[in-house]
Structure 1
Amino acid sequence: MTNAAQLFDRIIPLEGGHNFRDIGGYPVADGRMVVRGLVYRSGTLSELSDRDHAIMDALGLQVICDFRSTRERERRPSRLPEAARYEIWTRDHPMSAGDLTEAMRLPEATPETSRAMIIEAYRDLAYEQVPSYRELFRRIADGPLPLVFHCAAGKDRTGIAAALLLDLLGVARNLVLEDYAITDRFFARGCELVAKDPFGTKLAGIDQRIWEPMMRADPAYLAAMFETVEARHGSGEGFIRDELGLDDVAIGAIRERLLA
């Protein structure tokens, strides 16, 4: 299997960032490549340093799409410069994906049951995030770029958005799954951030082996998402057309902008 990270050094080294990387540099079937430097994905931006701000400025970012819920943004606001030039898009909505921690407290809970719950959650997550994904894809079609989209870990909501976008562009499925799995490089940092978040108190007293699957970028999770949307819509593009409402013009514009 090709190591996706070797195709292009896509990770942006931020001191206080988490899982910030370029989605560009992947080949597609017709010989073109996903353009670099236009669309980025990330985890939380709540601990960015002044040096990180300078790096983001150098990237020329125009827009930040924050997929986090209202409560998440209140608990851990992004640390951005007051004079930032980029637009910040958010939407008010409750915490996503349900709270799996109560089930992880049950006496019969195991790492295997936790993994199975997350796989099932991934079958619904793309649908739960339709309003955010609709906004993201429309902005990529005709809004200012470069753009970064993010959630907390940059794995679930962000990972599905990135996978649907790369799939729409024609990136091979094995590379889409490998791109998702790069998040596992940030596992320790992700656990550190969870511990700092008030949400982390919900994990107190739960054996780490039981909640660890929640922090992993297991390709089986993403495969469950694709299996579900393909069964319902025929393809990832079918989901984008049916649920996000993008037409031929918008989809064509995304491909025209992001492929070269």
Structure 2
Amino acid sequence: MTDLTHGHAVALATVPNLRDLGGWSAADGRRVRAGLVFRSTELHRLAGDDLAKFDELGITAVYDFRTAAERDAAPDPDLPGVTDTHLDVLADSSTAMPARLNEVFADPAMVAQANKALGGGQAEAMMAGTYRQIVNLPSARTSYRKFFEALAEPAGPGAALFHCTTGKDRTGWGAATFLTVLGVGRDEVFEDYLLTNDELIPALHPVFASFEKAGGDPDILSAILGVRRQYLEDAFDEMTAEYGDVEGYFRDGLGLDPAVPETLRTRYLDQ
């Protein structure tokens, strides 16, 4: 059974920001089926009792949105009965905000440089640019196409989980578009997205404490290691400008068969 402690969150100390995307209400009155699709941070710290708890979720497919460098630095564990598919969303980007900045900011020597380069709203601007790339980069469109194609395949014996490093940006867009195409309202989509600030930031307290102790501006960390409503709004604005709506994004942006959205609704909504 899924242990729900905050909305749809699953409490695993070694995998913060893990949650079930089931339970949200769609516009037609149906609900997203629970226990079928999960989102999380990277899994490389998964260990101890959490391994057994993770196994109880019934996950048999993992989709990893990280770069090759991120995977090499912190590879997911080899889990029995679980397939691991690499979908590098940011492969074509040379300017996206680096995903492992929580480790960079743990180095006191980086504090002054971070304050200068990312203060005064520059961090937020860089994050906004990253979100627009997540919508339109060729590697992003290819990765999300393969992800949704896999979710639309005939149902297998288990659940799916997708993640990046901190489970908030690349993963956040994957969750937002998944819920949106199922008909979940925009307010609820943002509610799921913003849960990251509750589920991830506490786990990063040592990074914040070290950064502030060395003279770092905590607002910079909050802007980069947390999520802001404006970031997801920027991504939706980009999607709307380029493709009209989520159906157009799936069809013209991702190149998916027009039947995929309805297939997803049939599979992941209670009938």
Q: Percent identity?
A: 33
Choose which of 45, 54, 57 in structure 1 pairs with 2:55.
Answer: 57
* Letter of the 1:46 counterpart: H
Comparing 71-80 and 22-31, the one that deviates more: 71-80
Provide structure 2 residue ranges, at least 5 long, that are not aligned to the other structure. Answer: 102-109
- The structure-2 alpha-carbon separation of the partners of 1:148 and 1:236, relative to structure 1 and needing over 3 Å to count, comes to same
Q: What are the Cα deviations for residues 128-165 of structure 1, in whole angstroms up to 9, with x where unaligned?
A: 32222111101110153410000010000000000001
1:192, distance to aligned residue in structure 2 (A):
5.0
Give ranges in structure 1 of 5+ residues lacking alignment: none
How many Å separate the matches in 1 of 2:239 and 2:264?
A: 20
Aligned length: 247
TM-score, reference length from structure 2: 0.81
C-alpha spacing 1:65/1:134, structure 2 compared with 1 (3 Å)? same
For the residues of structure 1 that align with 2:21 and 2:143, how far apart are their CA atoms? 18
User: Contact conserved, 2:239 with 2:246, CA < 8 A, in 1?
Assistant: yes
For 1:178, give the aligned amino acid.
E
1:169 partner letter: L
Contact 2:115 2:217 in 1 (8 A): no
State whether structure 2 residue 122 is matched by structure 1 residue 126: no
Contact 2:64 2:162 in 1 (8 A): yes
Return the TM-score normalized by structure 1: 0.84
- Map residues 1-260 of structure 1 onto 2, 5 A cutoff: 9-81=7-79, 84-91=80-87, 94=91, 98-99=96-97, 105=114, 107=116, 109-128=118-137, 129-143=140-154, 144=156, 145-185=158-198, 186-190=200-204, 192=206, 207-260=217-270
3-state DSSP of counterpart to 2:162: strand
2: CA distance, partners of 1:120 / 1:153 = 18
Q: CA 1:193 to 1:244, structure 2 compared with 1: closer, same or farther past 3 Å? A: farther
Does structure 2 retain, via aligned residues, the 8 Å contact 1:41–1:148?
yes
The question of whether the paired residues in 2 share the 8 Å contact of 1:150 and 1:158 is answered with: yes
Q: Partners in 2 of 1:142 and 1:253 — Cα distance?
A: 9
In the aligned structure 1, how far is the partner of 2:245 from the partner of 2:42?
30
Q: Which amino acid aligns with 2:39?
A: R
Q: Which piece of structure 1 moves more, 172-181 or 120-129? A: 120-129
Cα RMSD between the aligned structures? 3.0
- CA shift at 1:237, angstroms? 2.0
Shift of 1:233: 0.5
C-alpha contact 2:181 2:246 (8 A) present in aligned 1: yes
